[in-house]
Structure 1
Amino acid sequence: MKRYILRRLGQSVITIIGISIIVFLLTHLSGDPVALMAHQSATKEDLEEIRRDRGLDKPIYVQYWRYISRAVRGDFGESLRWKMPAIEMFLERFPNTIRLAVVAMAFAVLFGVPTGILSAVKVGRKFDNFGKIFALLGQALPGFWVGIMLILIFAAELKLLPTSGMGSWKCYIMPAFTLGWYTMAALTRLSRSAMLDVLDAEYIKMARIKGVSELWVILKHAFKNASAPVITISALQFVVMMNGTMIIETVFTWPGLGRLIVDSIFARDYPVVQMCVLISSSFFVFANLIVDILYAYLDPRIRYQ
C-alpha cells in the first residue's frame, strides 16, 4: 500500500510540474509582458529597465525556475491590471466560488441521488423513464445554455430571481442549479446503476423474505451498500465543479475565481492566469490522488496492478 501511495504521489507531482511548464510557456507566448506593465509613453530604455527588474531578460528556463520557486512559497507576483499581489486576489475570490460550489453540490445530491434511487426501485415504470431521460439531458445539455434559459424564464419573464450579485439567498439559486446541473444528472445515473446492482443481491432478497419493510430494505440495506461509489464520485465532482465555474460565473456575473480567470485572460494578466490555473489544477490532481488511494484501500486488487 505504501509503495502504491508513493507511486501515485510521485505521478501527481510530475503532473503538476508538467502543468506549470505548459501554463508558463503559453502565457509567455501570448505576448511581451513588459509591454503590458509599462505605460504607453514608455521609451525603449524604460522597457529594458522593467525587463531587468523583473528578470525577464534571463533565459526562459531561469525565468521558470524563479517563477516556480516563488510559487512554492505562495508568491505568484503582482497583477498587471489591478496592481496588487495575485495571491490576495485569489484569497478574495476563492471563498465566493467555494460557497457557490457547496450550494450547487447540495442541489445535485438532494435531487440527483433520490431520483436515481427511485428510478432503480421503480425500474421499467414512468418514473424510471423520467430519471433516464433527465440523466441523458443533464449530461448532454451544456450548463451555460441551462443558465441562459433560467435567466430568460425566472428573471426576464417571471421576474422571480435576480440575474447577478450575491446579496441574498435568491442570488444563489440559478447559478448554483446551473453549476450543479451536470453533477445532478451524473449522480442520478450513478445512483440508479449502483442501486440496481445491489437490489439483485441475495441479502436483499433474504431481507424481503424475512418480512422487512420495503422502505427499510431500500434505505438500510440497499442504499447503505450502494452509497460508496456515489460518495466517492460526489467528492471528485465537487472539485471538478469548482474548476468548471468560469462560464457559469461569467453568465451570472458571479464574483468568484472563475470570473477572475476569464477577466485576467482578456486583460492578458499572466501572473493571475498562471496562479489560478496552477492552483486549480493542483486541487484536481490531488483530488484524483485521494480518490485513487481510497479505491486502493477498498479494493486490494488495484494496489497490486
Structure 2
Amino acid sequence: MLVYTLRRLLLIIPTLLGVSLVIFAILALSPGDPLAAVVSEEYGNTAEDIERIREQLHLNDPLHVQYFNFLWDALRGDLGTSFRGGSSVLNDILARLPSTIQLAIAGLIATMLLGISAGVLAALFRGGLPDKLTMVFAFVGVSIPSVYAALLLLLIFAVELRWFKVVGDEGLKSLILPALAMALIPAGVLARLTRASMLEVMEEDYVRTARSKGIRESLVTLMHIFRNALIPIVTYLGLLAGSLLSGQVFVENVFGRPGLGRFLVDSISARDYPQIRGGILFVAAGYVFVNLIVDLLYGVIDPRITYE
C-alpha cells in the first residue's frame, strides 16, 4: 500500500502541471489587456502608469518565462499577487476557504442523507411505493440545475416563509438552504446508484447463505448487503467531495456566501489573472488529494481489495 500511495502522489505532479499549463495558456491567449480592470486611482490611469505596472508584475516577459516563474513561485507557496490591491492570492484564498469547506461538508452530508437513504429504501422495497418515489426524486433531482434549486429554495423558505435569512454566512442555520441546493442533483444520482448497487449485491450467494443461517434481516442488510454495496457509492462520493469544492460558484453567489466560488467569479469578472490561476490551481489540488484519500479508503471498506 505504501508503494501505491507514493505512486499516486507522484501522479499528482503531472496532473497539476497540466492544469496549470492549460489555465495559463487560456488566460494568455484571452483577448484584451488584463490590467484594464486595475486602472484606478490607486494605480493611476495613464499609459505610463499602466506600463509601469506591467513591468512591476513582469507581464512584459516572454510567456514561457512568466509560466516558469509562476510554477517556481507556486512550489514555494506563492500563488502570486492580485492585480487588485496587491494582496497575496494565497492569503485571499485561505481567508475564504473555511466558508467553502463548511458548505462542501454540509452539501456532502445532505447528499448522503438524502441519496443513500432513498436508495436503500428503494432497494429494500423494490417495485413498491418507496422505490417509485425514489425514482421520481432522482429524476427531479438530476433535472434541476443547482442554481435554479438555490433560487427556488431561497424564494420559498427565505422570502415567502421567512424561515431563513436571504443571504449571508451566520452559522449553521445559514448552511441549510445552500447545502440542500447543492445536494439536490448529486442526491438523485446517488439514490439511483445506491439502489442499483444494493440490488446487485442482493443476488450474491453469500447473502442467501447469511439468510439461510437465520441471521436477522437487519444485520444481513447492514453487514452483508449495504457494506458490500459501498464501493461504487464511495467512489461517487469521492468524486463529489472534490467537485463540491469547485461547484459552489452559483450557489455561493445566490446566497451571498464569501467562499472560493464567489472568489473565482469576482476574479473572472475583474480579469484578475493571478487570482484566477491561483484559485483554479488550489481547487484542482484539493480535488486530486480528496480522490487520493478515497482510493486509500477502499482497502478499509473492503479488505479484499489489494494495492499493486
| Global fold match (TM > 0.5) | yes
218 and 252 in structure 1: CA distance in 2 versus 1, 3 angstrom threshold: same
Runs of 5+ unmatched residues, structure 2: none
TM-score in terms of structure 1 length: 0.89
Whether 1:131 aligns to 2:128 is no
d(CA) in 1 for partners of 2:5, 2:161: 53
Amino acid of the structure 1 residue aligned with 2:20: S
Quick one: percent identity of the two aligned structures? 37
Name the residue aligned to 2:25.
25
Alpha-carbon shift at residue 62 of structure 1 (Å) = 0.6
Match of 1:13 in 2: 13
| Whole-angstrom CA distance in 2 between matches of 1:151 and 1:111 | 19
Amino acid at match of 2:61: K
SS at match of 2:229: helix
Q: How many residues align?
A: 302
The yes-or-no answer on 1:277 pairing with 2:280 is yes
**What code does the residue aligned with 2:275 have?**
V
Q: Determine the C-alpha separation between the residues in 2 that align with 1:274 and 1:183.
A: 27
CA distance in 1 between counterparts of 2:60 and 2:85 reads: 24
Per-residue CA deviations over 1:256-278 (Å, capped at 9, x if unaligned) read: 11001101111111111111111
- Give the 5 Å matches for 1:1-305: 9=9, 11-28=11-28, 29-39=30-40, 41-291=44-294, 299=305
Equivalent AA in structure 1 for residue 24 of structure 2: F
Compute the displacement of 1:14 (Å): 2.2
Shift of 1:228: 2.8
Distance 1:47 1:104 in 2: 43
Structure 1 residue 113: Cα displacement: 0.9
- Paired residues of 1:97 and 1:256 also in contact (CA < 8 A): yes
Measured after TM superposition, the shift of residue 108 of structure 1 is: 1.1
C-alpha offsets along residues 234-281 of structure 1, whole Å, 9 cap, x if unaligned? 222111111101011111111111001101111111111111111112
Tell whether the 8 Å contact from 1:12 to 1:289 is kept in structure 2 after alignment: no
Query: SS of the residue aligned with 1:175?
Result: helix
Tell me, in whole angstroms, the C-alpha distance in 2 between the residues paired with 1:298 and 1:255: 43
* Maintained 8 Å contact 2:234/2:294: no
Distance in 2 between residues matched to 1:120 and 1:49, nearest whole Å: 66
Deviations 1:120-175 (A, max 9, x none): 01011111111122122212221111111111211121111222112133211100
**Kept in 2: contact 1:107–1:180 (CA 8 A):** yes
CA distance in 2, matches of 1:210, 1:56: 73
8 Å CA contact 2:238–2:291 kept in 1: the answer is no
Residues 221 and 7 from structure 1, CA distance in 2 versus in 1: closer, same or farther, beyond 3 angstroms? closer
State the 1:20 CA deviation: 0.9
In structure 2, distance between residues paired with 1:284 and 1:46: 39
- Letter of the 1:47 partner, please give it: I
SS at the partner of 1:180? Answer: helix
Instruction: Name whichever of 58-67 and 181-190 sits farther off.
Output: 181-190
